[in-house]
Structures are given as structure tokens and as C-alpha cells.
Amino acid sequence: MNDRLRYIRNNLKSQDIQGMIVLNPVNVNYLTNIDAEGVLLLTLKENYYITDDRYIEKVQRTLMIDDEIIVVNRRDLSVDDYENYFMFCENVGFEEDYVTYAKYKEIMRLYKIHSLVETEGIIEKQRQIKDFEEIKYIRKACEITDDCFSHLLKFIKKGMTEKQIASEIDRFFREKDAVCAFDTIVASRRKLIYATCNTNKS
């Protein structure tokens, strides 16, 4: 089992929570590297990722043996299968800041959970603590951003539009195999030009 999943499981155990349903795609990706529609189940004995035909192959390519996650095709599940996942769990956690009340009721009905309890942002709190790999990417993103700024100091000329400068920023990041987390924004005021771009190393 990978370290992130193991950490979550240990924390759930300390809160007397025997399983968890993870629906937030950001949290799923953090724990598994999966970037495909589906739901992650942490049960008493196994971890499952339920998805559909469109993503089965992609998910299987993403996961490593050490992740210890069983990929399940939603189409193959019966009503009894859903109910069996948390059959022996007294308490099952969910993401209270992400799940709507309608989704909450759907989960209770589908999995026949005895007690669905809040996890107090357990995954989000873990995400705040960066591991070695994340720190490496953050440093790389800062380095690329600094290089981009240095490049812009030589690139920008009188008469250029904000759109032209934004396009050059995007081009620079693409060349460095990096992507922006949101659309690049360039705003100028008199002789000053401001540019913002939150970079993520891909």
C-alpha cells in the first residue's frame, strides 16, 4: 500500500472509523494518481476504485502494484456487491466539505452504511504536508517561473498588448514542459506590467 493511503488508514483507525468513501477527484488523485471518473473505497481489508468502461484501462495503467487497489467496473456490480463493501464497518467516513446532502443520502442507500461520519478534512490536512517529491516539483515550478520573468524582461517591448505577453508566457511554459493551473493574466498600468500564473510542473 502506498504511504499516503497507509497514513489515511492509520488516521481513520485512530478515530474508530473502519472505512471511507472518497469522491473528491482532487483527493482521489492525491492518494492514487488516478485522474479518471470514479469513487475510491477504503474498506476493512481492501482498497477499491469503482469506475466504468471508459476509464478501466487508464486506471489500471496508472496504478502501481504497491498501491494495492482493486479496480472494479461499475457495470459488473450488483446491489448486493455495493452492500457488501462496508458490511462489517461500524463507522464509514466521508468528505463532509465535498459531499452534498443528496449525495449523502444516495451513499447511505447504495452501500447500506450503518453510520456515515465526518472525517474533519483528514485528506486535506494530509495534503498540506508536502513530501519530498512535492517539494521537488514546487522548487522546479518556482525555478521555471523565475526564468520566465527573466525572459519577459528581455521580451517585452513598447506597444505590445497584454494578450501578446500572456501568449508568450504560455509558450514559455509549454517549452519547459510545464502547465498553468489557471489562465494566464497580464495587466498593465502606465509603465508597469503585472503577470500572474500559478505553475504546476507536469
Give the integer Cα–Cα distance in Å for 101 and 114.
17
Q: pLDDT for 33-65, tens place per residue?
A: 999 999 999 999 999 999 999 999 999 999 988
- Please choose, from the candidates 68, 69, 111, the residue with its C-alpha nearest in 3D space to the C-alpha of residue 93: 111
For residue 79, the 8-state DSSP code is: H
Give the integer Cα–Cα distance in Å for 200 and 145.
10
Entry pTM: 0.76
Beta bridge partners of 117: 93
pLDDT at residue 201 in the model: 55
Percentage of the chain modeled with pLDDT above 90:
79
pLDDT at residue 187 in the model: 86
Longest pairwise C-alpha distance within the chain: 69
